[in-house]
Amino acid sequence: MGLDVGSTTTKAVLLRLRDNATVASVYLRTNGNPVKASRECYWELDAGPMRKSTSSGSDDRSGRQIAALHASTDAVINEIIAHATAAAHFDHEVDTIFEIGGQDAKYTYLTNGVPPTMQ
């Protein structure tokens, strides 16, 4: 399960590991309560036991760390790394990512599929 807790919206997706198929997804308002929004995602996905989970979000204001603690996630990453990883996975030629969030906008460039924060 991937969980993205942002300042305005919270999104979650449940993937099947053997073929990376999307099993279920949910998109809802955070409404200033990242833990409640995360719980609503779990409930709507009926996630049950999970082998892996990841939490992302723009910064601590978004509740990324709080939601990750609540979910006992395997990884806590920011959305720049999440976008860069996905973009490089699906298209090796991607070199530019624009991310428009509820409180800010970001530009990231990739060099050989790697964002500068990981180089």
CATH of the domain at 94: 3.30.420
Q: What is the pLDDT of residues 94-110, one digit of tens each?
A: 999 888 877 778 888 88
Total of domains in the chain: 1
Inter-CA distances, 69 with 53, 93, 100, 111, 119, Å: 11, 35, 25, 32, 27
| Residue 55 domain boundaries | 2-118
Q: What is the pLDDT of residues 15-44, one digit of tens each?
A: 888 998 999 999 999 998 888 888 898 889
Q: 2 near 12, Cβ under 8 Å?
A: yes
Percent of all residues in the chain with a pLDDT value above 70, rounded to a whole number:
71
